[in-house]
Amino acid sequence: MDVKIGVVGFGLRGHLALEAHRPGRGSRVTAVCDLNERSRAEAHSTFPDAMITADLDELLASGVDAVMVLTPDDQHASVAVRALEAGVAVFCEKPLATSIEDCDKILEAAYRSGSRLYVGHNMRHMPVVTLMRRLIQDGRIGDVKAVWCRHFVGNGGDYYFKDWHADRSHSVGLLLQKGAHDLDVIHWLAGGYSTRVQAFGSLSVYGGIDDRRDRSGERMRDWFSLDNWPPTTQTGLNPVVDVEDISMMNMVLENGVLASYQQCHFTPDYWRNYTVIGTEGRIENVGDESNAEVRLWNRRHASSAPADETFVVPEAEGGHGGADDLLISEFVDFVRGGGTTETSPIAARAAVAAGVCATESLRGAGCALDVPALDPDLIAYFDAGQPTRVIS
């Protein structure tokens, strides 16, 4: 029997709802909730047999087995907590929340209720990332000591500066919103979470563009174009633009690994470059989806040299190199049987905590800040795969 899925938020991330709609193959979307009239009309067209509503309580009472929280980031916590407390399994899109406090509220709600919580960090299923992790686990570069990530966000002007993402009251900042993926991958490849962070950043380009307009009711597909170039010629930015378009972050991890993350939203190309350095070599990816490869150096060279080995990243159909399909499959299996998964609510909280503290650092004096620790009982519970619990 198919897992019955309710979707809350059918806008920017609605493609994940389409991934989850697999009638007769394990899951189907049976209800959609959205406050926006256009979104409800599109949901009705996409899922003609589903209940479409603007009332979250109505969706939760409809008999769904699980809820996918695909709302804007600052609404994740309120929806996820209500669903978990209603006894419904939750898929929460990344970032888990926009504050450490809200992350902890979500984790505590799942712990109290025993309802299953899954976070949509799809990059843990991306072939380029899983290949790099396998090489690390196979000992090909020895013990990891440093991880560097450069994120070239070539579509930044269209993706993040024409809607709510550009307003820190909704997104906090792009070091958190966009960086949550990369911070999670850095932690995963390094085998530890950040305990101390420091950052600098600025609004270097998009803050100087005066052409602004309210795009309420629009979708990214209404304005996105590769012809919107160079960045200084962008038009129709969000009325509020107060997030950084370039940021640089340093991290100290609990296991002693040092890491850095750079993010720029006005580059001509769009991809991520990870470099992982160990005691016996290093690996680095070139490209992260189509035609990508991972290069490995594990012999000494007098100067720059071709990689000692090169690994072609397997290609797959679907979003994010096939990762979205794997993500949804893992979620549906988790709803049915529980257990440990590649994604982790604890890791999702760690990514948010690092991003929030780094944002505080870059908007302050750039000082190093300690990342608040999480309750050990919550860590043990989620690391054990959220075992069945009965709370009296």
The CATH number covering residue 173 comes to 3.30.360.10
198 within some domain: yes
Predicted local confidence at residue 390, as pLDDT: 46
Predicted local confidence at residue 317, as pLDDT: 75
Chain centre distance of CA 264: 17
Residue at token pair 């997104």 = 171
Domain count, the chain: 1
141 within some domain: yes
Predicted local confidence at residue 13, as pLDDT: 81
Per-residue pLDDT tens over the stretch 148-194 = 999 999 999 999 999 999 999 999 999 999 999 999 999 999 999 99
For residue 72, cis peptide bond before it (omega within 30 degrees of 0): no
Domain that holds residue 311: 122-392
Residue at token pair 């530890």 = 192
Q: Kindly report the length of the chain.
A: 392
Predicted local confidence at residue 389, as pLDDT: 57
Predicted local confidence at residue 56, as pLDDT: 98
213 within some domain: yes
Predicted local confidence at residue 392, as pLDDT: 35
60 within some domain: no
100 within some domain: no
Is the dihedral angle over the CA atoms 129, 131, 136, 141 positive or is it negative?
A: negative
Evaluate whether 60 touches 89 at the Cβ level (below 8 Å). no
Full-model pTM? 0.96
Predicted local confidence at residue 20, as pLDDT: 94
Predicted local confidence at residue 328, as pLDDT: 95
Predicted local confidence at residue 8, as pLDDT: 98
Predicted local confidence at residue 118, as pLDDT: 98
Question: Residue ranges of the chain with pLDDT lower than 50?
Answer: 390-392
CA distance readout (Å), 23 to 5, 30, 162, 241, 347: 11, 10, 35, 41, 31
59 within some domain: no
Q: Which residues pair with 27 in a beta bridge?
A: 3, 22
1 within some domain: no
5 within some domain: no
